[in-house]
Amino acid sequence: MKKIALISTLLLAGSAFAASPADTLVIQQSADVPTLDPGVTYDTASGTLVQNMYETLLTYSGASLTKLEPLLATKWTVSNGGKTYTFDLRKNVKFHNGDTMSCADAEYTFRRNIVTNSGESGNWFISESLLGTQSNANDDKSVTWAKISAAVKCNAAGQLVFTLPKVDPAFLAKLAYTGQSIVDKKYNASIGEWDGTEATWKTWVGKDLTGSNLSQKPNGTGAYKLVRKDANNYLFTAFDGYWGKKPSIKNVIQQKVPELAARQQAFLRGDADIVEGAGRAGDETQIKGKPGVTWVDDLPNTTATAIFMNQNIKSTNLLGSGKLDGQGVPANFFSDVNVRRAFSYAFNYAQYIADVQKGKGVQRTMLLPDSFPGYDSKTKTYKYDANQAKAYFQRAWGGNVWKNGFVLTANYRAGSVASQTAMEILKKNVEALNPKFRVNIQAKQWSEMLASSKRGEEAMVLLSWAPDYADPDNFISTFYASDGFYSPRSNFKDAQIDKWNDQARATVNTTQRNRLYSLIANRAYEQAPYILVPAPVGYTFQSSRLSGEGLTKATYNPMLNSSTGSLDWKNLTKK
């Protein structure tokens, strides 16, 4: 305990280590950590820490994105035509405060997530599975206590039973998401969180748990427990009562260090073992090949990025005159498929790969990671072709786009070199086609752009999606469905795609699902709702003093691992 106290004092005083000790993992990143409550964890910064303090019923097996294995569960069965899941739970599992985990804790966890289900959380997708709606009881009056309690409950044998209203082929993958980690019912009630009863559930509907009491005083079953924290630092120590193999590394420190140069210097000095990088161009220049560095390249990338072309722009200040008179654009400018195809042909994909990704990029055929089931590599892609772009602009809006010209304002994330470069490439190529074409690009703060795009106010914006669970539905529905998460930002609606997507969500037959996703990909190519930005090839680096699962190509799982500390710390060793 003396060593913990010493480390804690140095950490919270802002002191730096000179060559971090062998029993201490030091991580530095730039982002704030919004929450330590699993029930509202929906960002990577929070997920990094929650993943190591808490545990889910299931987890991914090794580097596989399709195979799941038990964690807090020991086994499960599926019955009732794929609508009932029964889990046996691990015995003698302790929470950090000493409580023993029981089925009642698991039951409470999922009911709590469904009850609260705020816009800040990812609980919409577990609610959809268990209740048939993405909404909470405030927004959907069909959500009742009777439905919630029937959807997830413990049976007489102490097994956890989920009863779904319809088949969900992604359900098991959803249970592996960090936000579905098991919490302690008794402890939660003792610190003022929801007590889990019918008498009080309505007062907790839709409640934002970001700053909850549990976030301030976490209590999980994971291999590490929180010792101390302040605004910029977190100190964890290995949990002596952990049910699994005891961690090799005793202490973990995560520090918020906004300055890139400071992170790089700390890493190269050996003060930090894992740091948030600068992107491939910067990391290859500053980090790769330096002494004491392990660099792993050619890793799978599970994000999807697109330039959105909003078909119903709700912001008047981005529309200029609001007409096709050469002084602006109408709100439905992108509703003409010829406009969307023209912009898709005007983007230079090869240039983006060369300039931004240093040749380590892949032009995908659809907004689905190529490592995921359902990806169709045979679907056509757009290539930069000025003649094709010109031809489609000449057809757009009955020839009025080419005749009158337009002024379009596109925003990009302030500070994002990749986003700025993408918009600059598009601007240059579009404006070169016709002197009457003008694309104004401007930087905008990320939080502001997220809010405005959600309201449908952005005309053209670059956004990415990282998976919540390793199932194609998490991308296909998000981008292409009329009621998908990104629908308000693009206002893309296609009845045929919706039909295929609904069919894919209702079957567990992999061959059928893959065929439906291929149909969606080909239809999306024809309709061109997005400009598909090339995906970077993944890489990671860390101190050569580290070894263990997730740090090699063979063991790297993009759902669990990243270069900024989103690893299972318990699987690491340090020399």
Measured CA to CA in angstroms, residue 124 lies from 12, 240, 376 at distances of 37, 35, 28
DSSP per-residue letters across 504-538: HHT---HHHHHHHHHHHHHHHHHH--EEEEPEEPE
E strand or H helix at 425, and its extent? helix 417-431
Amino acid at 113: N
Amino acid at 118: S
pLDDT at residue 566, rounded to an integer: 74
Cα–Cα distance measured from residue 533 to residue 516, given in angstroms and rounded to the nearest whole number: 23
87 within 8 A of 97, measured Cβ to Cβ:
no
Count CB atoms within 10 A of the CB of residue 514: 16
Measured CA to CA in angstroms, residue 531 lies from 131, 254, 457 at distances of 34, 37, 18
Cα–Cα distance measured from residue 536 to residue 463, given in angstroms and rounded to the nearest whole number: 14
Torsion angle defined by CA atoms of residues 438, 486, 61 and 379, in that order, rounded to the nearest 10 degrees? -60
Measured CA to CA in angstroms, residue 109 lies from 124, 157, 286 at distances of 15, 19, 44
Strands 530-533 and 304-309: antiparallel
Cα 340 from chain centroid (whole Å): 27
Give the residue extent of every domain in the chain. Answer: 2-30+223-300+538-574, 38-45+52-214, 304-536
Torsion angle defined by CA atoms of residues 425, 431, 434 and 436, in that order, rounded to the nearest 10 degrees? 160
272 within 8 A of 256, measured Cβ to Cβ:
no
Cα–Cα distance measured from residue 227 to residue 10, given in angstroms and rounded to the nearest whole number: 14
CB neighbour list of residue 229: distance below 8 Å, 6 or more residues apart:
235
Measured in degrees and rounded to the nearest 5, phi and psi for residue 95 equal -80, 165
543: which strand partners? 293
pLDDT at residue 45, rounded to an integer: 86
pLDDT at residue 13, rounded to an integer: 40
Token digits of residue 383: 């290539």
Q: Which residue, among 305, 315, 321, 304, has the nearest Cα to 491 in the 3D structure?
A: 315
Measured in degrees and rounded to the nearest 5, phi and psi for residue 276 equal -70, 130
Global confidence as pTM: 0.85
Cα–Cα distance measured from residue 178 to residue 513, given in angstroms and rounded to the nearest whole number: 26
- Summarize the chain as % helix, strand, coil (round to 5): 35, 20, 45
Tell me the per-residue pLDDT of 92-151, one tens digit each, with 9 for 90 and over: 999 999 999 999 999 999 999 999 999 889 999 999 999 999 999 999 999 999 999 999
Residue numbers in the chain where pLDDT is lower than 50: 1-10, 12-16
Cα–Cα distance measured from residue 306 to residue 285, given in angstroms and rounded to the nearest whole number: 27
pLDDT at residue 414, rounded to an integer: 84
What fold is seen in the domain 2-30+223-300+538-574? D-Maltodextrin-Binding Protein; domain 2 (3.40.190)
279 within 8 A of 528, measured Cβ to Cβ:
no
Q: Domain spanning 304-536: which CATH class is it, in words?
A: alpha beta
Cα–Cα distance measured from residue 427 to residue 438, given in angstroms and rounded to the nearest whole number: 8
pLDDT at residue 3, rounded to an integer: 41
545 within 8 A of 199, measured Cβ to Cβ:
no
CATH code for residues 38-45+52-214: 3.90.76.10
